[in-house]
């Protein structure tokens, strides 16, 4: 498939998806949603991909929804926001969370509205120091979507979640790291190298085990301890029969670097 609103490639085990509408701060329109969905769908069956890096082109990560795509002509009907969320944003967030490989968000600039929550839905978020996160919904009379009302209180606590959602103030990347919303804040000039190093580490890692790890943690948020202990038992039993586990044990015994295949 050819893309016009994103850049997408897979090389050396690393998939890179770049939102590519820099003139609109990479805000989403209908066409971009379709292209992102198509790219993510290929990763569920592409055994060559061991990690996904999601970033934005130009000076921003993503400004959320392109409001020009929702402009109402004089005398026209208002757009159905619920239908747009059901068709576009809900499957996007679920696809990122459910991908059977690690997902890194490289936040290179402002992440606003749905763009902020798309980043927070990724497994690891690394942000440039100049980047910021803005829950801009309150300025439009809306609620945080794209998982925002679920993610924010779990990541930052209820008090901070309410402050971010109700006030819509800009949260600098450094404070986002301090509050536990993101994994790391790095100097702007270091972002690309830090993310590349993480991606290379994941590309050589036991992918199946990482996939089960993220699944266990995310789904465990809604389980009791007793239920989670059962899940850990079941996943360990499955992974203990994998080729990667056998390779890890062999490499440890032979005092060499393991050569994981993701199987």
Predicted confidence (pLDDT) per residue in 79-120, tens digit: 789 999 999 999 999 999 999 999 999 999 999 999 999 999
73: confidence class by pLDDT, cuts 50, 70, 90: low
Same domain for 112 and 220: no
CA gap 157, 58 in Å, rounded: 32
77: confidence class by pLDDT, cuts 50, 70, 90: low
Same domain for 247 and 228: yes
Better-scored residue on pLDDT, 2 or 103: 103
Does residue 70 carry a pLDDT above 80?
A: no
Same domain for 121 and 215: no
Does residue 201 carry a pLDDT above 60?
A: yes
263 domain residue, yes or no: no
Same domain for 190 and 174: yes
Residue 204 has a pLDDT of 97
Q: Which residues pair with 65 in a beta bridge?
A: 28
Same domain for 222 and 102: no
Same domain for 216 and 158: no
Same domain for 191 and 169: yes
Q: Domain containing 90 — which CATH number?
A: 3.90.226.10
Q: Which of 172, 187, 203 delimits the end of a domain?
A: 203
Q: Domain containing 230 — which CATH number?
A: 1.10.12
Percent of the chain topping pLDDT 90: 92
225 domain residue, yes or no: yes
Q: Which of 203, 221, 239 delimits the end of a domain?
A: 203
Same domain for 222 and 146: no
* Domain count along the chain: 2
Residue 79 has a pLDDT of 73
Q: List the one residue out of 213, 206, 214, 216 whose CA is nearest residue 246.
A: 206
Question: Average pLDDT of the chain?
Answer: 95
Same domain for 149 and 122: yes
189 domain residue, yes or no: yes
262 domain residue, yes or no: no
259 domain residue, yes or no: no
260 domain residue, yes or no: no
Same domain for 102 and 168: yes
Same domain for 43 and 105: yes
Does residue 236 carry a pLDDT above 60?
A: yes
- Domain span including residue 46: 6-203
Model confidence over 211-229: pLDDT tens digits? 999 999 999 999 999 999 9
Q: Are 182 and 151 in contact (CB under 8 A)?
A: no
47: confidence class by pLDDT, cuts 50, 70, 90: confident
Least confident of 64-68, 131-135, 146-150, 161-165: 64-68
CA gap 161, 151 in Å, rounded: 9
Q: Are 44 and 96 in contact (CB under 8 A)?
A: no
Same domain for 86 and 50: yes
Q: Are 16 and 2 in contact (CB under 8 A)?
A: no
Residue 69 has a pLDDT of 81
Q: Are 202 and 51 in contact (CB under 8 A)?
A: yes
């Amino acid at each position: 498939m050819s893309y016009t609103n994103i850049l997408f490639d897979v090389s050396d085990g690393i998939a890179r998806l770049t939102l590519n509408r820099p003139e609109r701060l990479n805000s989403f329109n209908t066409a971009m949603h379709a292209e992102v969905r198509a790219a993510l769908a290929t990763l569920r069956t592409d055994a060559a991909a061991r990690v996904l890096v999601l970033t934005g082109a130009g000076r921003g990560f993503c400004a959320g929804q392109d409001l020009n795509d929702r402009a109402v002509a004089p005398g026209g009907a208002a757009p159905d926001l619920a239908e747009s969320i059901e068709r576009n944003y809900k499957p996007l967030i679920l696809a990122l969370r459910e991908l059977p490989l690690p997902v890194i968000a490289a936040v290179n600039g402002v992440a606003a509205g749905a763009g902020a929550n798309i980043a927070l839905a990724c497994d690891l978020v690394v942000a440039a120091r100049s980047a910021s996160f803005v829950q801009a919904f309150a300025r439009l009379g809306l609620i945080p979507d794209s998982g925002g009302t679920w993610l924010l209180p779990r990541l930052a606590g209820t008090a901070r979640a309410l402050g971010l959602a109700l006030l819509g103030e800009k949260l600098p990347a450094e404070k986002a790291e301090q509050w536990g919303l993101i994994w790391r804040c790095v100097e702007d000039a270091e972002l690309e190298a830090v993310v590349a190093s993480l991606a290379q580490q994941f590309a050589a890692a036991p992918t199946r085990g990482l996939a089960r790890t993220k699944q266990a943690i995310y789904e465990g948020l809604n389980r009791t301890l007793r239920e989670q202990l059962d899940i850990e038992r079941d996943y360990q039993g499955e992974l203990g029969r994998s080729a990667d586990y056998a390779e890890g044990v062999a490499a440890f015994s032979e005092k060499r670097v393991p050569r994981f295949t993701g199987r």
